């Protein structure tokens, strides 16, 4: 009868030990007939520990233990739940397989009785699901948790409705990974369950979803290639009334809400969190390499784990804010760790998403609601990379302007305001002395100039319309096509500077390829535009001499990723004045 | 629990300490002269916040510990083994993994890279005479 797997030369685990000792001490009392005496607080705690150990280890008498618990409970199961939380946080990875199944069973039982704090237990279990891990054990936990959310829906609404948004955040993020590998048949049923759950939360509990804030948009955009999410997305843009949320005025409302840091924690296991916190509070700058290597070996080396970096960067920016003491010490700063993580990306779509994660709060920054610590790492990374890693500064600045121009062209004004507020607040609050450090750098002047030009472009509105059209048509391109398209490009031109930097370009022939693709398919193209009408419209307006080039940041196809930029904008402005 | 900087070579199994394993060398098979029994050994670089030292893993310890593990040594011995000054559990001591990652460390001084001489005032005790190398010469600083 064992709870955990302990390898040779491993010290006894104090949590496991205290539960086992309680069980051994109380074992005679755990068999019927149960004592009718009321235990004192000390005994009550031990009895809870003993029952917990029994429930998890003694499969055959689990129900009897549970009845015993129901009989003795005097605190709404608070003590029992907090012991379980401890077990999940500290022992989950080491638990034996049958114990994990028992754990899920006990959790369901506790939901049935609306145990105090059971929502916290669910959060802990969600955090044990590893992003990018396609092992059987991990997919099993995904499935079990999604099943709990679906089957215990009404109970959960009574316990704490916000737990549904924690599930939503988790599964939206997991779906981005799970839908990237379409070839895995094992995943299909799970994927369907995850989709059903997310759609149910979005459709039935949208007012709650609003509290998730701007990261909800970030996650949803990574899923627009799935038909059900495309429909949600369309409603978000065009049909806000669908959501039955009083006062909901559209996507800007989400942009204006800073996502609470608890959501960032959901995609980081407690062990990862502890290690990252240790790295960022105790390890000295210049001495961090071994710790980084250990972290990477444990959490990032397995195939497909790389997407975890996106969540880690969100965690570092928004959930780990060092104290002033730490900031002033010689401890490795957040920007340095993020620089290392960014350099560890081997896949373009991961790198683009990591940059988006790093710069996301810049786009919507408002001094009143936002925290300067969320945007500080990106700024310092840009500044401190100038001497030796100018390519990082370059790629981040370029990406920032690319996002500002193209992340959401319908709300270009919000993004421009967000980015310019970010810069001015960072200077005002002394994170950097002035922007001279960027503007005086010769190597950066081309991007900065370009950004200024785009900002000055007077016919911006008409350009945007075209961009929107192209985006609308690009978002319905299935993922497979994109992957094919990108893999072909990145293999042939690995060292090409254009491919290598933040954005790749869709060439003229690629546009033609896309057109061919659509003409051969029977997709319902949004708003009944046929691709030819769009194309005719585009070429008519820009004229035959202007090449249409798209920039994409290699994420899955979504609004942000197809950052279409019309090159030759000056030329276009010239033509328009003629007209 | 004694910090590594305070350990002194002695023929006694009385060192209780805690450190993080930084690096492992290759596992070697050695033959004990007396019993002709074969055994595995593996040299490792270990450290805490105060100092580093070479540690000898023995037998199945060689495979049970990885770089990044936090290890607790009880009743260990710091002494010369074939001219190398090493910390090890020895027959009477033991080592246990108590954690991972969450320990800061320094790579200098390395107590195995210090020349020790008997204390003129107390010949039973060793004192530090000179630094042979600030870092481990077997595991030179990697980064």
Distance CA A137, CA A118 (A): 23
CB spacing of B67 vs A294 below 8 angstroms? yes
Contacts made by residues A63-69, CB under 8 angstroms, sequence distance 24+: A64/A32, A65/A30, A66/A106, A66/A109, A68/A30, A68/A34
Instruction: Enter the ipTM.
Output: 0.95
Q: Minimal Cα distance from B95: which residue of A?
A: A9
Distance CA A461, CA A481 (A): 30
CB spacing of A297 vs B68 below 8 angstroms? yes
Interchain contact B65–A (C-beta under 8 A): yes
User: Does A527 score more than 70 pLDDT?
Assistant: no
Return the domain boundaries, chain A: 14-201, 268-466
Dihedral of CA atoms A123, A128, A134, A139 in degrees, nearest 10, equals: -60
Q: What is the pLDDT of residues A364-379, one digit of tens each?
A: 999 999 999 999 999 9
Q: Minimal Cα distance from A12: which residue of B?
A: B98
Average pLDDT over residues A172-198: 90
Task: Pick the residue of A9, A17, A295, A340 with the most B CBs within 10 A to test the interface with B by mutation.
Answer: A9
> A453: pLDDT confidence band, cut at 50, 70 and 90?
low
Contacting B residues, span 81-120, partner chain A, CB-CB under 8 Å: 95-98, 100-102, 104
Residue that is written with structure tokens 């978002």 in the block? A475
Residue A564 CB neighbours (<10 A): 22
Closest by Cα among A456, A460, A451 to A412: A460
Average pLDDT over residues A188-211: 96
Task: Output phi, psi for A135, to 5 deg.
Answer: -75, 155
Amino acid B57: pLDDT: 97
CB spacing of B60 vs A9 below 8 angstroms? yes
pTM of the model: 0.82
Interchain contact B34–A (C-beta under 8 A): no
Interchain contact B138–A (C-beta under 8 A): no
In a 3-state reduction of DSSP, which class is residue B17?
strand
Task: Pick the residue of A6, A11, A13 with the most B CBs within 10 A to test the interface with B by mutation.
Answer: A11
Task: Pick the residue of A278, A294, A299, A301 with the most B CBs within 10 A to test the interface with B by mutation.
Answer: A294
Distance CA A547, CA A567 (A): 7
Lowest mean pLDDT among A6-15, A41-50, A443-452, B10-19: A443-452
> A554: pLDDT confidence band, cut at 50, 70 and 90?
very low
Q: Which residues of A touch B60 (CB under 8 A)?
A: 8-9
Lowest mean pLDDT among A189-203, A269-283, A393-407, A496-510: A496-510
A416 class by beta-carbon count within 10 Å (0-12 exposed, 13-18 middle, 19+ buried)? middle
Q: Which residues of B touch A9 (CB under 8 A)?
A: 60-61, 64-65, 95-97
Q: Does domain B4-31+38-131 have CATH number 2.40.10.220?
A: no
Interchain contact B59–A (C-beta under 8 A): no
Amino acid A182: pLDDT: 65
CB spacing of A8 vs B60 below 8 angstroms? yes
3-state secondary structure labels for all residues of A396-442: HHHHHHHHHHHCCHHHHHHHHHHHHHHHHHHHHCCCCCCCHHHHCCH
Return the domain boundaries, chain B: 4-31+38-131
Task: Pick the residue of B40, B102, B135 with the most A CBs within 10 A to test the interface with A by mutation.
Answer: B102
Amino acid B143: pLDDT: 72
User: Does A234 score more than 50 pLDDT?
Assistant: yes
Q: Minimal Cα distance from A293: which residue of B?
A: B68
Q: Which helix (H) or strand (E) holds A354?
A: helix A348-359
Lowest mean pLDDT among A164-173, A459-468, B39-48: A459-468
A-B contacts (CB, under 8 Å): 46
What does the block give as tokens for A185? Answer: 């048949």
Question: How confident is the prediction for chain A on average, in pLDDT?
Answer: 81
**DSSP alpha helix (H) spans, A73-135:** 78-91, 97-112, 118-127
Average pLDDT over residues B42-46: 97
């Amino acid at each position: 009868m064992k709870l955990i797997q302990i390898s040779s030369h491993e010290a006894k685990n104090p949590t496991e030990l205290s539960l086992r000792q309680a069980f051994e001490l109380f074992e005679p009392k755990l068999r019927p007939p149960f004592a009718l005496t009321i235990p004192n607080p000390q005994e009550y705690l031990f009895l809870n520990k003993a029952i917990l150990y029994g429930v998890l280890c003694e499969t055959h008498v689990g129900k009897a233990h549970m009845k015993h618990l129901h009989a003795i409970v005097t605190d709404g199961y608070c003590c029992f739940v907090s012991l379980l939380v401890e077990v999940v946080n500290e022992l989950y990875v080491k638990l034996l397989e049958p114990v994990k199944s028992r754990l899920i069973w006990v959790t369901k039982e506790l939901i049935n009785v609306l145990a105090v704090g059971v929502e916290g237990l669910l959060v802990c279990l969600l955090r044990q699901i590893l992003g990018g891990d396609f092992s059987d054990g991990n997919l099993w936990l995904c499935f079990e948790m999604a099943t709990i959310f679906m089957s215990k829906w009404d109970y959960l609404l009574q316990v704490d409705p916000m737990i549904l948004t924690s599930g939503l955040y988790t599964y939206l993020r997991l779906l981005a990974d799970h839908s990237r590998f379409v070839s895995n048949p094992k995943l299909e049923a799970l994927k369907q369950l995850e989709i059903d759950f997310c759609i149910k939360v979005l459709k039935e509990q949208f007012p709650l979803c609003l509290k998730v804030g701007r990261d909800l948009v970030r996650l949803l955009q990574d899923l627009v290639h799935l038909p059900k999410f495309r429909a949600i997305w369309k409603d978000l843009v065009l049909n806000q009334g669908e959501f039955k949320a009083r006062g909901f005025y559209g996507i800007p409302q989400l942009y204006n809400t800073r996502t609470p840091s608890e959501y960032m924690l959901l995609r980081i296991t407690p062990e990862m969190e502890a290690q990252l916190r240790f790295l960022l509070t105790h390890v000295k700058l210049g001495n961090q390499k071994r710790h980084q290597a250990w972290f990477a070996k444990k959490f990032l080396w397995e195939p497909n784990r790389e997407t975890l970096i996106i969540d880690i960067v969100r965690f570092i920016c928004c959930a780990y804010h060092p104290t002033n003491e730490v900031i002033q010490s010689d401890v490795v700063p957040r920007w340095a760790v993020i620089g290392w993580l960014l350099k560890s990306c081997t896949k373009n779509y991961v790198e683009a998403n990591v940059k988006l994660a790093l710069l996301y709060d810049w786009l919507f920054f408002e001094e009143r609601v936002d925290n300067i610590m969320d945007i500080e790492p990106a700024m310092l990374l840009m500044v401190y990379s100038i001497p030796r890693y100018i390519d990082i500064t370059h790629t981040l600045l370029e990406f920032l302007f690319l996002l500002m121009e193209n992340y959401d062209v319908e709300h270009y004004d919000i993004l421009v305001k967000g980015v310019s507020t970010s810069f001015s607040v960072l200077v005002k609050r002394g994170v950097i002395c002035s922007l001279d450090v960027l503007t005086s750098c010769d190597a950066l002047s081309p991007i900065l100039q370009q950004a200024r030009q785009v900002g000055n472009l007077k016919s911006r509105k008409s350009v945007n319309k075209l961009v929107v059209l192209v985006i609308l048509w690009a978002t319905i391109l299935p993922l497979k096509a994109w992957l094919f398209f990108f893999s072909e490009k990145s293999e042939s031109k690995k060292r090409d500077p254009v491919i290598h930097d933040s954005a790749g370009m869709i060439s003229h022939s690629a546009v033609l390829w896309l057109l061919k693709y659509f003409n051969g398919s029977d997709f319902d193209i949004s708003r009944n535009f046929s691709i030819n009408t769009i194309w005719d419209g585009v070429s008519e307006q820009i004229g035959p001499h202007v090449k249409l080039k798209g920039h994409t940041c290699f994420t899955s196809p979504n609004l942000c990723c197809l950052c279409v930029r019309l090159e030759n904008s000056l030329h276009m402005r010239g033509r328009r004045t003629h007209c | 629990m004694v910090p590594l900087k305070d350990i002194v070579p002695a023929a006694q199994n009385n060192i209780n300490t805690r450190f993080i394993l930084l690096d492992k060398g290759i596992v070697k098979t050695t033959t004990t002269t007396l019993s002709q029994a074969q055994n595995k050994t593996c040299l490792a670089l270990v450290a805490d916040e105060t100092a580093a030292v070479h540690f000898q893993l023995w037998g199945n310890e060689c495979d049970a510990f990885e770089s990044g593990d936090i290890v607790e040594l009880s009743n260990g011995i710091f002494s010369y083994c074939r001219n190398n000054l090493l910390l090890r559990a020895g027959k009477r001591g033991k080592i246990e993994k108590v954690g991972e990652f969450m320990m800061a460390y320094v790579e200098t001084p390395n107590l195995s890279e210090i020349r020790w001489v008997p204390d003129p005032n107390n010949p039973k005790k060793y004192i530090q005479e000179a630094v042979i190398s600030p870092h481990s010469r077997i595991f030179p600083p990697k980064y």
